[in-house]
Chain A
């Protein structure tokens, strides 16, 4: 039995599938690729795969990961990558398979690039920068117990707003993982609430880090 961490992208059309659907899609691909997966030994055996940090619907991921247990230690990294890619849709390409180094629980931050659609990048960028420098930026956040008011301000230290020719780019690193998680779409909610700007924003998750900003491996 061997634990492996599969690294893939979730881009293009694959952005629009939920975590549950991704899970099913991966199981089908593993079955199709005839990868010797370890099955749980219980009454109703099932394959065992987990995702260290699931991605929200609509956001693309450049460095996503999935952990699985193999029944066979001999299959090589190259074989796994090739077999999985042959079995997955084009928009979920696998680019690496490694041994897990960190535990999923160590994940603390994720970095995002947010591309905001606007005809007037300079003005919009200035407005967003001003908003993010205010004392308080409060947005409603949905939790298990209903909506709460969340002040984003403490989490905006590692956020920069840049005016580009096609629109505004926001580069940000936000808390992520099981203890504290800030969804980047909350930044869009703030822009909508405070600036009355309902702008289409393309969000990419670029990377994942632990509490010391070491890249998740």
Chain B
């Protein structure tokens, strides 16, 4: 049985692109008339997606440690439910996602900014929703959870903001990286004004994020007894490096923290706050950003790490585009492959091999619409 429809399809696409190639030669009026079809054709045929299936391949290449997976939800920015249902719906969707992962992840990381304005009812709503996560959950605090009551309600609900734990031979550290130097007392700000200032990403009144001397000392102590060949995974809300200062895509004492991590062979930092696909490698440290469930941030005008696999600019007509959740495959060597589950897009996997090869190997296939 010979069927030729595939070749006809190919031929048709060729003809259509030939027609659209000729578009620039059309006059303005003609161009307007066909422009809709032209754009549709370009979008339909130009974009190739990485054929990632549900279960990313796990490479069991080293002895001693068992590979495992953990998933994440981050940056949900909840208001009261009766004020804003949109962001509630989004975190529900993320919880539904991680509950349906197969195989089940060992635990779920919550990446910070559960609340939008740090209010009790916002944090309580988040806690209520996160109770439905079927796996154990590890909480991290973000600046939106913090600056109303300086962490009081968050601590009541979730415990300490700085802690460490071991899981299947990997040492995990959770930092509170969004401390800010006091900008509010001199201005006689109310707690609400302080929170409102920090909540504005482009608000220049606030200070820059920092881990701070006290926590850096804690970190040194915590790591003192961990062998240098133990894989280390650090969770911080802000990126533990300097990306773009104006938006606090930044940790002021990042260099000092990196120095503390320098003695370890395999370090991965997982951070929230930036609401975008973001990848970096500095020395021995791999950095991965998390997606937000609430809204995506644009890439900053400067400072974007060159290893970043950019997500295409989100479609404003799809309120979930550029948002999502994801999971991390911790390989037997303790290195992490990061999978971004962008809602309604194909998942994109950024492997440790890609980072280790400085972007020359295992380059992820990603959409290629650029940002402005």
A interacts with B: no
Q: B residues touching A (Cβ–Cβ < 8 Å)?
A: none
Q: A residues touching B (Cβ–Cβ < 8 Å)?
A: none
